Structure 1
Amino acid sequence: MTEMQIAQPEMATEAEAAPAQRGANIVTIFAALILTALALIFGLGLRHQQQTQPTEGLAPLFTLQTLDGQEIALESLRGKVVVINFWASWCGPCRDEAAELEAVWQQYKDKDVVFLGIAYTDTERNAQAYLKEFGITYPNGLDYKTKISAQYRITGVPETFIVDRTGHISEFVMVPLKRAQLSAMIERALAKGM
């Protein structure tokens, strides 16, 4: 019996294959970079388009159980400007704005302006420690089961809503606030009147 021999194609030497492989790697990396850039551009545009927080109309109603045991219903604050700030003790940007919020609260607390802090996905112990660390004196409470956050459809913290005297959202910000910026927002809401 004779053995049948199958001709094997000649394999390229390593030296011949290396430039082709390198070229393929460069094309793959370049394609990945382009796809990443397109995904980033598309994602940023989509985030802007899909902003879900209410930015006008009546503010969603809620009752906040404060950490000192009070119950504050947003509806009971009609006739006042209300600053609603969603925050968390673990949030770096929230920590950046904490002293700013307290300073503006001290400036406006006797001028028909109410601040409500809502601790998002936080424990009572951590929230209390945060309030103590920054000397925050305006009413704050936990957002149990994130019910209030869901009503306002927040996407992260900090997020701040300004509610005018008629109960309508007049402004919304999803970045840490500075004193001058927050004061200007409050002044605009106060100027609207009833």
Structure 2
Amino acid sequence: MTAAKKWVSAAAVLLAAVLAAGACGGSGTDEAATGGQDEAVRETTAAAGSTATGREAPNLSIKTLDGEEFNLKDKRGEVVALYFMAGWCGSCIPEARAWSELYPEYRDKGLELLVVSADPNDTPQTIERFRRAGGIRELPWAIDETGGFTRSLGVRALDSTIVFGKDGEVVYRDAVPTGRQTLEQEIEEAL
């Protein structure tokens, strides 16, 4: 293995460990799964990220599992939701399931969604196992193989959601499990 490959592999393991420590494996309570968030946590998270509320979407792209290029700048004029998870993250299942229910309802109204695995060790097979285990419908999915997409958006925890408004600015950001009701409210306000 070359030195560059060893470095990328070590960075991937470190990113996965940091993300695992920051989220996923939360309390597993109904409150966490249904969006019982502390407002101070949401505000602190928004202020800390490079895409805090009110900031414009950076010019970032990532390849989806379907082989398409997903570019944030190209999505201007649409509401874009990004959900960050990992194929082994049990606490990510409820929110991924909520997105799989909401996306078909709002896609024709202008919602674009991308579920991003922040674990570079995930594969299409691990994502498929996650989807089936959680009863999650087909969704647009990507694996951040280098961690660059996730880092560039200031995401530091799994179960993180960023919603960009039609003008390309962040209108919602969190780093905690979020329930369907909260997600739907944020989508409605953004549309």
1:83–1:160 CA contact under 8 A, matched in 2? yes
Where in structure 2 are the equivalents of 1:84-103 lying within 5 Å? 84-103=82-101
Residue equivalent to 2:13: none
1:66–1:142 CA contact under 8 A, matched in 2? yes
| 1:52 lines up with 2:38 in the alignment | no
Which structure has the bigger radius of gyration? 1
Amino acid at match of 1:149: T
RMSD: 2.1
Residue equivalent to 1:167: 168
Q: 1:53 to 1:91 in 2, by over 3 A?
A: farther
**TM norm structure 1:** 0.68
Partners of 1:103 and 1:179 lie apart in 2 by 9
**TM norm structure 2:** 0.69
Residue equivalent to 1:127: 127
| 1:177 lines up with 2:178 in the alignment | yes
Partners of 1:52 and 1:182 lie apart in 2 by 19
- SS of aligned partner of 1:171: strand
Where in structure 2 are the equivalents of 1:1-194 lying within 5 Å? 48=44, 51-55=48-52, 56-121=54-119, 122-124=121-123, 125-133=125-133, 134-190=135-191
Partners of 1:129 and 1:66 lie apart in 2 by 17
1:89–1:95 CA contact under 8 A, matched in 2? no
Q: 1:93 to 1:78 in 2, by over 3 A?
A: same
Q: Percent identity?
A: 25
Once the 2 structures are TM-superposed, how far is the Cα of residue 149 of structure 1 from its aligned partner? 0.8
Larger deviation, residues 134-143 vs 79-88: 134-143
Larger deviation, residues 128-137 vs 164-173: 128-137
Once the 2 structures are TM-superposed, how far is the Cα of residue 53 of structure 1 from its aligned partner? 4.6
Once the 2 structures are TM-superposed, how far is the Cα of residue 137 of structure 1 from its aligned partner? 2.0
Deviations 1:63-82 (A, max 9, x none): 12111211121111111000
User: Unpaired segments of 5 or more residues in structure 2?
Assistant: 1-40
Once the 2 structures are TM-superposed, how far is the Cα of residue 164 of structure 1 from its aligned partner? 0.3
- SS of aligned partner of 1:115: strand
Q: When the two structures are aligned, how many residues end up with a matched partner?
A: 145
User: Unpaired segments of 5 or more residues in structure 1?
Assistant: 1-44
Residue equivalent to 2:22: none
Q: 1:131 to 1:61 in 2, by over 3 A?
A: farther
Partners of 1:131 and 1:54 lie apart in 2 by 28
2:94–2:179 CA contact under 8 A, matched in 1? no
